[in-house]
Structure 1
């Protein structure tokens, strides 16, 4: 049995981190579709909030997204970030 969180748990925690970084209501972020753009109009992550989000992901999961995904494609949406982190945790 592994202590690695499953993909759904990772997404839930990432949604919470996004809400905190973007200063949005957690319930609002929890109800957004997984393909909602992180820097799009609904979430509106700023570059500074993006840095805070990446720091939170690194502290929680030990995944340095900026170092592992140089193109930062994983920051496209809630789903791409959750998928990236979950994949890193499995490897």
Structure 2
């Protein structure tokens, strides 16, 4: 099973590389993690320092907004379907 690291650990490791001027391979060895993993963390952090390590199951703000909008669309479509069925039932009863 893969090791799991929290946001603080990842940020600390990235800052050792970026601010401390240490090499990725040496830092990875020191922290007992894969150099590939640390390199990916550094790359992610450079792209988006604020939302770089959102965590498992957590979405970036823009992804969360998109998910919420899609949920809203689905809910409204379901409401419309229910109302259409109700209209059909009421129209039958009036005849």
TM-score by length of 1: 0.31
Between 1 and 2, higher relative CO (CA 8 Å, sep ≥ 6) is seen in 1
Give the TM-score normalised by structure 2: 0.30
